[in-house]
Chain A
Amino acid sequence: MSDIQTWALVFVAASFALYIFIAWRSRVRETKGFFVAEQNIPAVANGAAVAADWMSAASFISMAGLIAFLGSDGSIYLMGWTGGYVLLALLLAPYLRKWGKFTVPEFVGDRFSETVRSVSAVVAIIVSFTYVVGQMAGGGIVFSRFLQVEQAAGVAIAAAVIFAYAVFGGMKGITWTQVAQYTVLIVAYLIPAWAVAHTMTGFPVPQVSFGEILAELNRIGAEFGLPVYTEAFTARPQIDVFLVTMSLMIGTAGLPHVIIRFYTTKTVRGARYSALWALIFIGMLYTTAPAVGAFTKLNLLTGVQGAAVDALPSWVQNWMATGLVTVGDGVQTIGSVSNNPDSGADLIINNDILVLASPEIAGLPAPIVGLVAAGGLAAAMSTAAGLLLVISSSASHDLYFRYVDHNASEARRLLVSRIAMGVAVLVAIYFGINPPAFVAQVVAFAFGLAASTFFPILLLGIFWKRANAVGAVSGMLAGLVFTATYMIYTLPVFGTQANDHILGVSPEGIGTIGAVVNLVVTVTVSLLTRPPSHEVQEMVENIRYPAAERRTGVPSA
């Protein structure tokens, strides 16, 4: 067993032991604990949990690599996956917390109608499943490289640990494990990044020091025939960059697994500060990622430029074993590098390995490489657990108890929710082992669908009293059908023919237009039909003011 494997095993085993310990400490006996962690999570802890919930295998493993190859246009992910928190904090989180029940479908059920609730529950399950598949596959990559375990076995091990804390602890177990997982993943991300920045520039803050190497990166990139790194719109047209960024932002604000995290705080104020802490914690990784991308790309290009194939750096050999790095047939020396397997370049590097390989590429010691393995798993597992909770709560709380078992006792509800969680874990294992498409692409579907279904009706539900049930159902279905149709039209993953993008709009960006379609349809149909009842309008009125009752005679601050 190599040094790297030993250290990876140490860190992964230690972190898994910690998660199981937390799971045992936070097991729950009531559905309120299972679904919303008894609503007593402090804002800072909830912020960390949101950050871990949010930052997936895609953020930790794939993003810096994507940015390294996209260059300036990698900002779609950086802005798209952070800007949504401004929308969440200002437009959704405080109001949904004031309303204060268990799930997102439950809110739209109270606000609009039972039909909207059922449609939402089904959409929440679809969105969460497409997303969870990527997490499972990402976990499998970490296992296969660092621990030499079969990808399938790796997925099963990670899922077994998730099963332990998600089934017994529900939201409470998931929350406190996510706090631990955030700590593991941010330490694992920042230490190598700071070390690489220090080695390459002498200044250890990557956010500041990667400016120094941009000119060098542009120069060496040109020698490889790559687009200028800092130039905008080399990878995507401007309109598409705009639409993808917007789609990721409103998708973020509409993803059920993120929204339900804000139900767990003590107060409305706690929900606002959770959003603040969440974005601070997320920002620590997201401002580091572009630096990691730039440093790793420069290291990579200088390391392989003109190198003979039998004299490539050792990390290339290590990763070739996973099939994620390949050298073209008959190539003698490396003259071109790409992340696209069809490009015919001398060296093909998969996006997903750049972060995992960055300590090796920079020649950092084995313990750090092992730590990165634990971090990648923490990112994948924390997100998977949050998604599985949404699937379980939508299936049990929003569908099963309403249609099948109306009068279930509290104990029975808890049992059924646990069974739903267990079944969801099993299905996720299956799709994690047989993923339908590669990690980032799968995640893009989830965002487009969340953007075009949930965000517009939640927004209108809170800010426009006139929005009614018929409008919301029509809007959601219109947004969903429109967005899904375009995705199927442009992407070959469903077994259909891949057609050209219309007006340069990629399937990742279509969610923005889908959201507009949803908004317009909801408004139009609402105006043509009867306004919602007086009770519903009172409910909307009430979620706007944090305190249950207004105190008068309070000296103004």
Chain B
Amino acid sequence: MADTQESPAGGAPPPGGGAAPPDNGWRKEYWKENLRLMVVLLVVWFVVSFGAGILFVEQLNEVVIAGFPLGFWFAQQGSIYTFILLILIYALRMDKLDDEYGVSERNDDGSRA
């Protein structure tokens, strides 16, 4: 899963290597960290919605909590809460990553734009 997602994304460096002068090594690192975060979050996205809500819904339905068969709950409630959390984590982690690499958007006085 992780491999197939990463190869079209991170692969194929520009031909001739002309795009990245030597001092731009940070770009590769930043992009790699971004891709790693993205792949982890997308794996969770897939497991919770397609996994718990569709592929294994019948097995999970054997468990009933507060009246909800668990698979049914993931399909109609839990997946949506998870999606919100995933975007929250992404936005917060990217803020941190942007700051670390000095590419966050700032106003002239240095405050966040």
Contact residues in B for A91 (Cβ distance below 8 Å): 38
- Are the CB atoms of B61 and A230 closer together than 8 Å? yes
B20 to chain A, nearest CB (A): 8
Give which listed residue, B38, B50, B103, contacts A547 with CB less than 8 A: B103
- Are the CB atoms of A230 and B42 closer together than 8 Å? no
Q: Name, among B9, B65, B102, the residue most crowded by chain A CB atoms within 10 Å (CB to CB).
A: B102
- Are the CB atoms of A276 and B84 closer together than 8 Å? yes
B41 to chain A, nearest CB (A): 6
Asked if B88 is at the interface (CB within 8 A of a chain A CB), the reply is yes
**Provided the pairs A86-B42, A273-B91, A287-B80 are in contact, do residues A547 and B105 lie with their beta carbons within 8 angstroms?**
yes
Asked if A438 is at the interface (CB within 8 A of a chain B CB), the reply is no
Q: Which residue of B is nearest A213, CB measured?
A: B67
B71 to chain A, nearest CB (A): 7
Contact residues in A for B30 (Cβ distance below 8 Å): 544-545
**Provided the pairs A215-B67, A276-B88, A547-B105 are in contact, do residues A78 and B80 lie with their beta carbons within 8 angstroms?**
yes
Contact residues in B for A553 (Cβ distance below 8 Å): 102
B 3-18 to A, binary, CB cutoff 8 A, 1 in contact else 0 = 0000011011011001
- Are the CB atoms of B83 and A269 closer together than 8 Å? no
A94 to chain B, nearest CB (A): 8
Contact residues in A for B27 (Cβ distance below 8 Å): 541, 544-545
Q: Name, among B27, B42, B45, B91, the residue most crowded by chain A CB atoms within 10 Å (CB to CB).
A: B91
- Are the CB atoms of A78 and B12 closer together than 8 Å? no
- Are the CB atoms of A544 and B91 closer together than 8 Å? no
Q: Which residue of B is nearest A77, CB measured?
A: B76
A75 to chain B, nearest CB (A): 4
* Residues in A40-59 with C-beta less than 8 Å from chain B: none
- Are the CB atoms of A79 and B49 closer together than 8 Å? yes
Give which listed residue, B41, B55, B113, contacts A267 with CB less than 8 A: B113
A 512-546 to B, binary, CB cutoff 8 A, 1 in contact else 0 = 00000000000100000001001001100100111
Give which listed residue, A67, A211, A523, A551, contacts B8 with CB less than 8 A: A523
- Are the CB atoms of A537 and B19 closer together than 8 Å? yes
> Please, how many residues of chain B have a CB less than 8 angstroms from a CB on the other chain?
61
Q: Which residue of A is nearest B8, CB measured?
A: A464
Contact residues in A for B53 (Cβ distance below 8 Å): 75, 79, 245
- Are the CB atoms of A86 and B77 closer together than 8 Å? no
A463 to chain B, nearest CB (A): 4
B66 to chain A, nearest CB (A): 5
Give which listed residue, B66, B79, B104, contacts A79 with CB less than 8 A: B79
Contact residues in B for A74 (Cβ distance below 8 Å): 76
Asked if A552 is at the interface (CB within 8 A of a chain B CB), the reply is yes
Contact residues in B for A554 (Cβ distance below 8 Å): 99, 102
Asked if A7 is at the interface (CB within 8 A of a chain B CB), the reply is no
- Are the CB atoms of B91 and A230 closer together than 8 Å? no
* Residues in A195-219 with C-beta less than 8 Å from chain B: 207-208, 210-215
Q: Which residue of A is nearest B71, CB measured?
A: A232
Contact residues in A for B75 (Cβ distance below 8 Å): 72, 75, 78-79, 232
- Are the CB atoms of B99 and A557 closer together than 8 Å? yes
Asked if A413 is at the interface (CB within 8 A of a chain B CB), the reply is no
- Are the CB atoms of B72 and A72 closer together than 8 Å? yes
Contact residues in A for B31 (Cβ distance below 8 Å): 544
Asked if A445 is at the interface (CB within 8 A of a chain B CB), the reply is no
- Are the CB atoms of B61 and A232 closer together than 8 Å? yes
Q: Which residue of B is nearest A211, CB measured?
A: B67
A186 to chain B, nearest CB (A): 15
Asked if A223 is at the interface (CB within 8 A of a chain B CB), the reply is no
* Residues in A264-300 with C-beta less than 8 Å from chain B: 266-269, 272-273, 275-276, 279-280, 283, 286-287, 290
Asked if A485 is at the interface (CB within 8 A of a chain B CB), the reply is no
Give which listed residue, B88, B90, B99, contacts A556 with CB less than 8 A: B99
Q: Name, among A238, A287, A460, the residue most crowded by chain B CB atoms within 10 Å (CB to CB).
A: A287
**Provided the pairs A79-B75, A230-B72 are in contact, do residues A465 and B61 lie with their beta carbons within 8 angstroms?**
no
Q: Complex: how many Å from CA A541 to CA B49?
A: 32
Asked if B96 is at the interface (CB within 8 A of a chain A CB), the reply is yes
**Provided the pairs A82-B83, A276-B87 are in contact, do residues A268 and B105 lie with their beta carbons within 8 angstroms?**
yes
A 438-480 to B, binary, CB cutoff 8 A, 1 in contact else 0 = 0000000000000000000000100111100000000000000
A-B CB contact pairs (8 Å), 27 listed: A79-B49, A86-B45, A86-B87, A91-B38, A94-B94, A211-B66, A231-B61, A232-B58, A242-B50, A245-B49, A245-B50, A246-B50, A266-B113, A267-B113, A269-B94, A269-B104, A279-B87, A283-B80, A287-B80, A466-B12, A531-B15, A544-B27, A544-B30, A544-B34, A545-B30, A547-B105, A547-B106
| Supplied contacts A85-B83, A546-B105, 20 more A-B pairs, CB within 8 Å | A75-B53, A75-B72, A75-B79, A78-B76, A79-B53, A82-B83, A85-B87, A90-B86, A91-B38, A212-B66, A232-B71, A238-B55, A269-B91, A280-B84, A463-B9, A466-B12, A541-B20, A547-B102, A551-B106, A553-B102
Which 5 residue pairs across A and B have the least CB separation, nearest first?
Answer: A211-B67, A75-B75, A557-B99, A290-B76, A463-B9
Chain B residues within CB distance 8 Å of chain A = 8-9, 11-12, 14-15, 18-20, 26-27, 30-31, 34, 38, 41-42, 45, 49-50, 53-55, 57-58, 61, 65-69, 71-73, 75-77, 79-81, 83-84, 86-88, 90-91, 94-96, 98-106, 112-113
